[in-house]
């Protein structure tokens, strides 16, 4: 499997722009790249998919064990010409200051891929070479093979950058200098970039981006460099590949509910689940014959009035929950199951949980979380330990004490709170659990949904 990792010294250097341009340019050459995103981000993979017409998935070495990361990498790149992995934050940034845990660097070691460093060269010349040299030498287990300078002011600026690297950095090739161009900026908002589904990269954006890469990058050199990352290994059997149950699960997928780990759905399918997508925004009913529901995250606050106006779907969800259908909701899906948004007229939601939600001007929570189940549930038995990520700009009112808390939550190794609210067989939380951290989550949910569909209303 050939692969390259697009990394940077820090966020905002241009990783996503370079990755999208590279994916588009490779596709134009008739190649099929397999895109990946390091870390828990949901938005960048959507853009990757638009750029190369192929599903992009997350590689996260803190939430998931190394074996699962390798399996995800192998399964999603097996029929591709090369894998293009976009990093997260700075190359060595992870969960702490003393190790590479959860970092792009750790992923490069796991998949044995060379790194191309994207450096914002604004207001730098020879100093940029010192930065590249430091990154190339910081950890000998990480192979920084090339550098792309972004935000380059002129041809003379590009010449100075190239000369500095050639003169003082051994083993790192300059693969291109991208000129400063504000028209290539991707729109953003508080949770990051605007989603691919919303903006769609209007007009000929991707074509122009591909042309910029063709003109200013050494694409042949990049493709050749990818071969250095070849790593042969065999996967005996994917985690949780045995068909454990037969059930149809309705998964909310539309502009309001667009943040889901694709490997969560893969593990559910491997457990025998048929995924049936539906839209709480547009559909007039739930899919027929389902045994459970999965309500992922997204931006329900941007579509509050439309969601509130779809009374038939809200009613159907409430009735299903009251009947004991297994339901799993995370972040935006959790918000949808509250009473609604404060300060937004005509914005009443499903009302499963007796609290309202308010949007905040500043970020409420960001970071990895580990949870331990305090009781048996439709996604796992008592004592189950799973990992996930939390990122939101909203909060709910204080949840009443009579609403059960299923999760004991740890942040940075320290117990912080109880969360994971449960009503009957409906579990809702701000935390996006990655089923790859504990594949038994998918297996258990599949069995419970199959049991419900067959008339066994579990847990009632």
Q: Say how far apart CA 451 and CA 434 lie, in whole Å.
A: 23
Using CA atoms, how far residue 439 sits from 191, 303, 345, 384, in Å, is: 27, 32, 41, 11
Q: How far apart are CA 327 and CA 280, in angstroms?
A: 15
**Euclidean distance between CA atoms 118 and 83, whole angstroms:** 17
Q: Could you tell me which of 121, 76, 123, 122 has the C-alpha nearest to residue 132?
A: 121
Q: Are strands 115-120 and 327-330 parallel, antiparallel or unpaired?
A: unpaired
Distance, CA of 217 to chain centre: 27
Task: Return d(Cα 340, Cα 311) in angstroms, integer.
Answer: 13
What secondary structure letter does DSSP report for 147?
E
**Which residues are registered as beta bridge partners of 179?**
152
The rounded distance, in Å, linking the Cα atoms of 123 and 265 is: 45
How far from 122 is each of 77, 149, 178, 187, 332, CA to CA, in Å?
35, 9, 11, 21, 37
Task: Please identify which of the residues 52, 177, 331, 449 carries the catalytic annotation.
Answer: 331
Greatest alpha-carbon span in the chain: 73
Quick check: 261 and 435 in contact, CB under 8 A?
yes
Active site residue 449: no
Please answer whether residues 331 and 432 qualify as being in contact, where contact means their C-beta atoms are separated by less than 8 angstroms. yes
Give catalytic residue positions. 331
């Amino acid at each position: 499997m050939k692969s390259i990792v697009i990394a940077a010294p820090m966020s905002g250097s241009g990783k996503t722009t370079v990755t999208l341009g590279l994916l588009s340019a490779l596709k134009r050459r008739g190649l099929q790249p397999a895109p990946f995103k390091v870390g828990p981000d949901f938005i960048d993979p959507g853009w990757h998919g638009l750029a190369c017409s192929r599903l992009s998935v997350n590689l996260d070495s803190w939430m998931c064990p190394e074996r699962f990361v390798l399996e995800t990498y192998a399964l999603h790149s097996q029929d591709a010409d090369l894998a293009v992995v976009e990093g997260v934050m700075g190359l060595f940034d992870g969960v702490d200051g003393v190790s590479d845990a959860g970092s792009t660097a750790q992923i490069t070691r796991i998949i044995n891929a060379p790194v191309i460093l994207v450096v914002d060269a604004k207001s730098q010349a020879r100093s940029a070479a010192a930065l590249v040299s430091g990154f190339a030498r910081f950890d000998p287990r990480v192979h920084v093979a090339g550098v792309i300078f972004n935000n380059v002011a002129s041809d003379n600026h590009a010449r100075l950058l190239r000369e500095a690297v050639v003169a003082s950095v051994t083993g790192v090739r300059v693969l291109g200098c991208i000129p400063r161009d504000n028209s290539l900026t991707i729109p953003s908002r508080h949770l990051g970039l605007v989603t691919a589904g919303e903006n769609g990269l209007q007009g000929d954006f991707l074509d122009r981006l591909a042309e910029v890469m063709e003109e200013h990058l050494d694409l042949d050199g990049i493709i050749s460099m990818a071969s250095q990352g070849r790593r042969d290994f065999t996967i005996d059997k994917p985690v949780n590949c045995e068909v454990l149950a037969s059930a149809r699960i309705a998964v909310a997928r539309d502009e309001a509910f667009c943040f889901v780990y694709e490997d969560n759905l893969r593990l559910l399918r491997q457990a025998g689940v048929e995924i049936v997508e539906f839209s709480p925004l547009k559909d007039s009913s739930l899919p027929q014959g389902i045994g459970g529901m999965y309500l992922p995250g997204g931006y329900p606050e941007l579509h509050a009035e439309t969601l509130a106006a779809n009374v038939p779907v809200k009613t159907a969800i409430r009735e299903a929950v009251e009947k004991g259908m297994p339901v799993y909701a995370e972040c935006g899906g959790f918000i949808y199951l509250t009473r609604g948004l404060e300060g937004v007229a005509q914005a009443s939601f499903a009302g499963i949980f007796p609290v309202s939600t308010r949007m905040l001007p500043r970020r409420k929570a960001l970071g990895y979380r580990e949870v331990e189940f305090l009781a048996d549930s439709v996604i796992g038995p008592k004592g189950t330990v799973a990992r996930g990520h939390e990122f939101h700009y909203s909060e709910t009112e204080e949840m009443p004490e009579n609403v059960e808390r299923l999760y004991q939550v740890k942040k940075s190794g320290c117990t912080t709170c109880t969360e994971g609210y449960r009503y009957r067989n409906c579990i809702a939380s701000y935390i996006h659990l990655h089923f790859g951290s504990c594949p038994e989550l998918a297996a258990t949910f599949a069995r419970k949904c199959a049991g419900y569909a067959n008339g066994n209303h579990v847990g009632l």
